[in-house]
Amino acid sequence: MSLRLGDVAPNFQAQTTAGEIDFYNYLGNSWGILFSHPADYTPVCTTELGKTALLKDEFAKRNVKVLAVSVDPLDKHHGWVNDINETQNVEVDFPIIADSDRTVANLYDMIHPNASATATVRSLFVIGPDKLVKLIITYPASTGRNFNEVLRVVESLQLTANYGVATPADWNYGEDVIVVPAVTTEDAVKKFPKGVRVVKPYLRYTPQPNL
Ligand code: BEZ
């Protein structure tokens, strides 16, 4: 069965480019991003893994650990990582799972048979420190993901987790956030000392609380 938001992210053990890992141990108390791509030595995937490596400090700042999944074997991963480092001018140092038996791909429903019977699609899961699935995105093989958008979503998820706020369309870090409907305006004024702007009784903004 496919995973849904709020489900417990299944744990697993896997061989990776950084040795054998237990997913939960790898994550510890961090946020996690588990993401799949169709295959090694493919152009879009090369740019995606390169971009992820480039954003290493940004993920670390947000306490996020990343873990890639590919159904190719370990020796192929190692050779491909050399190519990624060379062509994308990076140092890939996050683990890539060698999921040849498709254990992880099946556990996270990353193979969509009507897209490809064998290759994983571009699935991406954001997992909270509570090990619950917070976000799922699925892209086809032909479209590389926007990893700046992934960072933006993580920021939104973390604001929700830490301050109980939501973020509006096209929100970017530093912009006003939304007071959720469950909080009355009276309570919101107490909870958000920077102020509450009431546009409609159901549409209320407050400055980003952690700044
Ligand atoms: C790629 O991973 O680069 C790719 C896979 C399938 C179609 C197009 C690109």
> Rounded to whole angstroms, how far apart are CA atoms 32 and 201?
36
Looking from the CA of residue 45, the nearest atom of ligand 1 is 2
Q: Is 165 part of the annotated catalytic residue set?
A: no
- Pocket probe mutation, ligand 1, options 35, 36, 41, 42, max atoms within 8 Å of Cβ: 42
The tens place of each residue's pLDDT in the chain, 211 residues long, gives 689 999 999 999 999 999 999 999 999 999 999 999 999 999 999 999 999 999 999 999 999 999 999 999 999 999 999 999 999 999 999 999 999 999 999 999 999 999 999 999 999 999 999 999 999 999 999 999 999 999 999 999 999 999 999 999 999 999 999 999 999 999 999 999 999 999 999 999 999 999 9
Length of the chain: 211
Ligand 1 centroid to residue 47 C-alpha, Å:
11
Atom 5, ligand 1: residue with shortest CA distance: 141
Residues with CB under 6 A from ligand 1: 38, 42-45, 141-142
Sheet of 203-206: strand order equals: 165-166, 177-179, 203-206, 197-200
pLDDT for 101: 96
Find the DSSP H helices in 10-144. Answer: 23-27, 43-54, 56-61, 74-88, 103-107
In sequence order, which residues have a C-beta less than 8 Å from that of residue 86 and are 6 or more positions away?
none
